[in-house]
Chains A and B, each alone.
Chain A
């Protein structure tokens, strides 16, 4: 079976506007969470968000901007840069036929900023009418549609919405489309822009958001004994995936191999995770990659920072790896880029690809004290050089929907 490789990508997040800033801050353990500025947080205890600093869409999009919710802006921005990184900013030909180029993106909440604003006008201000672009801005498939339109990609164009696993499912399905010969190139990843008062109040109702406690940057403390929940963030990451033969023929960068993909459902509880679902998704990712558990060097954990997720994830990893669990490096980069909902899996794949490229494990930031229920090496606070040949990227969503990617050095 021919290898599927990553030939370009871009990330935008609270850590900065590009992949270099993203990686530099991850390696330095320097988080991007802070107090909310995009709306008045009022009495929100969780006055913490991962907001993108200094993103000015006006010069990037012009009139096109009228039709773009923020999540779609982020996706399109990343797609442009990812295609350029892969040497495809001049178009697909002669290397690819546009009908054989797919787009598969994930988003949990889609155009929720536009939706929030529109419903506020209707319910809060008794507006007589809504802007006619409300629907095209709100629809969750807007990101993949705009990418296909701008890039001229005429193959299958899909949007997956599996909450916090959306991007990982999207990337995994993209891998499958390539492996099964349906397409020759896929632009894939995820985007979410959930920094609205309505979204925060809904999450507050679930009592899973970490309070600011006077130090919003350190609010999210995955695997720590005193962890107190997750922190919402905005962001996007988009990848260019193709078969190794086309990347070599084009002389394109080959950054890593997307080697395997596993997906599963807990079929249990709508919000409470169990060990079995994540375990079977990780096993499937390793099986499709043809990798034995003891070969895994690094796992970028789902690691939300909630009591339950982190303990169950560690238990699942322990069961997956057996004795080898003691040697694996684990980290939750959400401690720094926050939980960007459906984009998270794409941000984390970007972390994994750069970890492989630099042979450095990014840390779990904000770590205070070990939790006996999370007693594996979670790379507390300091990044660490190590040989990384094989890595996993975990995403476990509400609904019990799990997706795991296996990545290998090329």
Chain B
């Protein structure tokens, strides 16, 4: 107790204080009311978080480079025609004339790689778009209306998601030939379920929040509520799901191609190039190495970006 007392001062003992400052100062309302919270919006805050993550930014830059190359790349070298054969110059190593070399029937690997990347990306983006539309609608409706409808819709989703996409694709291949639409259909048929679950759980979370109740009392219609008020709150989560869906579609396509169930020749995709390269791997390793490298970089970049986005939208998960 004695030791503690030294911390305290009797009013009479105080010295060395500028007593001229012992005057009241009026309260500056605006100064004290100035709220210190960040004025940054949801988006700019997420962007600021993302910018701090060098891995995610690296991923983003690499993705952009690959996207640009997949659009303009084929015309920079090798003539731009992925099917053009030059049998005189077959199976060449990379050179000034053919930047990535040529395959066994003399097609430019540079052109085919970037054209293949274009097709792989195209399939993935379309699948992601389908997923978004179906998943958001389904999850939104299911979560918003709840009750029996929710139970039934969740059962259906459960059944659909327990069918492996491989099985589904196998079934489709029995009826149709492999093509871009077949692959898109097979992948998106089951993959929207994950998206709808995210939307549903977010909707359930936000449903009882006050601003929704407020909008309701103001007489907003249900459809308006779902799309104007709830969905924007879910968008962050959706971006994260999409950033993981794209690489998994790219992977699935290349996986099918590797099994010989991919797109028909001569259309290239990254998977087809790898599959073709595998056959002559021991003689011409560059034929598998280059497309595999592009695919790997693309996959890693999307994963890094996805992880970064997840942390950016939900900093506490870090």
A binds B: no
Enumerate chain B interface residues (CB-CB to A < 8 A): none
Q: Which residues of A contact B (CB under 8 A)?
A: none
